[in-house]
């Protein structure tokens, strides 16, 4: 660039060069450059979007695992409650006072009502109504049975001799297991409760034994000697 005699540059020569240089800096800044160096913050939105997608992908399996843990916890809690309810029912059956003015099977129906009342009273937070649990009474008693085994909805009550094993009670193939006393005194009373628990995680139901409505069928049994 030519200089004047006094050593300075003509303004007509310096101005275009300065404007061109400033325009170059502005264009670099708009492209994410400052002073010839790339500004890495320009790629931050894309990085945040990728992190969000990865978080969602990882979150879904974690939520499924957490819900599955809760589901199995609820099922285990229901099992503990049902076991206690079966014991309470069997205990009520052992202390039932036999009424000699009525038939044996009618006494069994009254004993069934006492067992049912004690068992459902021990259900706690479990639902003692359909579709989770069902049993019927009429006039304060269960349906009158015709044998030593009474099936009333989701509760089964059976009597067998003290020589019998707990299951089956009584054993159809062994007459020695039949309870022969009218009052059932000295015999075993066996109470089995069935409960239909809700399954909130569909994938878990594939690994469980469910009923026709997709509920998990839980069982609890207790056997005691009638006093």
Inside any domain, residue 87: yes
Inside any domain, residue 212: yes
Question: How far is the C-alpha of 127 from the C-alpha of 198, rounded, in Å?
Answer: 11
Question: How far is the C-alpha of 71 from the C-alpha of 74, rounded, in Å?
Answer: 5
Inside any domain, residue 54: no
CB neighbourhood size of 108 (10 A): 29
pLDDT level of residue 131 (50, 70, 90 thresholds) = very high
Please check whether residue 88 is in contact with residue 126, taking contact to mean a CB–CB distance below 8 angstroms: no
With 0-12 / 13-18 / 19 or more C-beta atoms within 10 angstroms meaning exposed / middle / buried, residue 201 is: middle
Range of the domain at 109: 60-226
Please check whether residue 217 is in contact with residue 209, taking contact to mean a CB–CB distance below 8 angstroms: yes
Q: Tens digit of pLDDT for each residue in 63-110?
A: 888 888 888 899 999 999 999 999 999 999 999 999 999 999 999 999
Question: What pLDDT score was predicted for residue 12?
Answer: 52
Between residues 65 and 32, the one the model is more confident about: 65
How many domains is the chain partitioned into structurally?
Answer: 1
Inside any domain, residue 141: yes
Inside any domain, residue 47: no
Taken as a whole, the chain contains a residue count of: 227
Query: What are the two backbone dihedrals, phi and then psi, of residue 192, each rounded to the nearest 5 degrees?
Result: -120, 130
Inside any domain, residue 194: yes
Inside any domain, residue 196: yes
Q: Which of 40-44, 186-190, 203-207 has the highest mean pLDDT?
A: 186-190
Inside any domain, residue 6: no
């Amino acid at each position: 660039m030519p200089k004047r005699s006094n050593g300075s540059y003509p303004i007509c020569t310096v101005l275009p060069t300065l404007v061109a240089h400033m325009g170059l800096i502005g264009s670099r800044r708009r492209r994410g450059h400052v002073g010839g160096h790339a500004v890495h913050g320009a790629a931050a939105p894309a990085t945040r979007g990728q992190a969000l997608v990865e978080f969602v992908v990882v979150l879904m399996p974690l939520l499924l695992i957490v819900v599955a843990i809760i589901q199995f916890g609820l099922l285990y809690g229901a099992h503990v409650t049902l076991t206690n309810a079966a014991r309470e029912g069997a205990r009520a059956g052992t202390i039932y006072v036999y009424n000699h003015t009525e038939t044996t099977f009618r006494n069994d129906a009254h004993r069934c009502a006492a067992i049912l009342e004690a068992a459902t009273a021990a259900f706690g937070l479990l639902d003692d109504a359909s579709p989770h649990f069902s049993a019927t009474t009429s006039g304060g008693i269960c349906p009158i049975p015709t044998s030593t085994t009474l099936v009333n909805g989701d509760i089964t009550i059976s009597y067998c001799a003290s020589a019998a094993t707990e299951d089956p009670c009584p054993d159809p193939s062994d007459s020695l297991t039949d309870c022969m006393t009218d009052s059932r005194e000295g015999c075993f009373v066996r109470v089995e409760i069935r409960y239909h628990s809700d399954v909130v995680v569909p994938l878990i139901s594939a690994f469980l034994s469910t009923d026709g409505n997709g509920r998990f069928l839980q069982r609890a049994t207790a056997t005691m000697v009638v006093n």
